[in-house]
Amino acid sequence: MAASDHGGFASARIAILGPFPPRSGGVARQCAILAQHLQQAGVQVIRINTDLPTWRGRALARPFFPLAQVVHGWRALGRTRHGWDILHVHAASWWGFMPAVLGLRARAWGKHLVLTYHGGEAAAFMAKHGAWARAVLQRYDRLLTLTPTQARIFQAHGLTPFVVPNIVPLEQFPFRLRGPVRPRLLWLRLMEDRYRPQDALAVLAQVRAVHPHATLTLVGGGKRLAQLRAQAPPGARFLGQQPFHALPALYDAAEIFLNTSAVDNLPLTLIEASASGLPIVSTNAGAIPDLIVHGQHGLLARVGDVDALAGHVLRLLDDPRLAQKLSKGARENAQRFRWETIAPQLARAYDLFRK
């Protein structure tokens, strides 16, 4: 496959193995975004959805869901094998590593195998299952990580990853310069312990002590949603899970983006918020410092330090120049996740420039 005017992608045939919408979360959205851009570049794309949305909605089928995922993925790979030459697997830790194992079936067919590792729990996963996971990942032609921090985790286990970040369609997130900012906060993650939504509510309470009309909009589903709604202070608004097409308007309506996660790698929400020009206040969990430089693209605090997070929000409300500086810096920072920047890196990972 030779390089072309389409950045090396014309006439390529690529299968993407991973979750797709309507599954929520950044991995599913990234698979969909990648498939769309590849098709626009002239690639024949086959989507192999590991999520099985029709199964997920059936309560009686829930105990058999993991087995159904494996059977479906195994059969789909075999059924479509003559329609693609490159398999791009999207995997994560724990059960999210299942696609990595399934993808090895294509090794016997002489396909080119690429794997992108998502999520912020790689260190814990490799510490527990490193020998086995390393044996799987070594059989891929390219191992891609989203951040340098994550790459170092795999390098410590004798692997050679390449850093290729997520793709964000910046044109879908209109930029609005902030500064001065009003006390309208936005939080967008799953309502799960690893993202510490309770800290966001605690930040709101502290901010309202100074700005009584401050609001916090929380977007996302999850097992803690009902409990958090019952415990929420005044000014908190829960929207539940929202479709992707609704997100740009939510970012545009906000003034400050708040992220309280304890585990993270390269969250799409932070990039999308950056593209929208939102000043960001976030924890420094995982690889977030690879994305955000404190004082340039946002303000960072240690995980669980509610006082520092609230202090950063109050500082932005009191300092219009800082808010404006971070708003501009955020949008500039987001430019490195454009398709035009990521495409050549993917073409090399796919080995599309080989003679």
pLDDT, tens digit (0-9, with 9 covering 90-100), for 286-314: 999 999 999 999 999 999 999 999 999 99
Would you say the CATH fold of 171-336 matches that of 13-167+339-349? Answer: yes
CB 161 within 8 A of CB 148: no
CB 107 within 8 A of CB 113: yes
pLDDT, tens digit (0-9, with 9 covering 90-100), for 86-144: 999 999 999 999 999 999 999 999 999 999 999 889 999 999 999 999 999 999 999 99
| Domains of the chain, residue spans | 13-167+339-349, 171-336
pTM of the full structure = 0.87
User: Strands, E, within the chain: which ranges?
Assistant: 13-18, 44-49, 86-91, 112-117, 142-145, 162-163, 184-188, 215-219, 236-240, 256-259, 280-283, 299-301
Confidence of residue 56 (pLDDT cuts 50, 70, 90): low
Dist. CA 250–CA 63, nearest whole Å: 36
Topology of domain 13-167+339-349, CATH: Rossmann fold (3.40.50)
Kindly state the average pLDDT of the residues 342-346: 95
Which CATH architecture group holds 171-336? Answer: 3-Layer(aba) Sandwich (3.40)
Kindly state the average pLDDT of the residues 150-154: 95
pLDDT, tens digit (0-9, with 9 covering 90-100), for 5-33: 455 788 899 999 999 988 877 899 999 99
Dist. CA 280–CA 322, nearest whole Å: 11
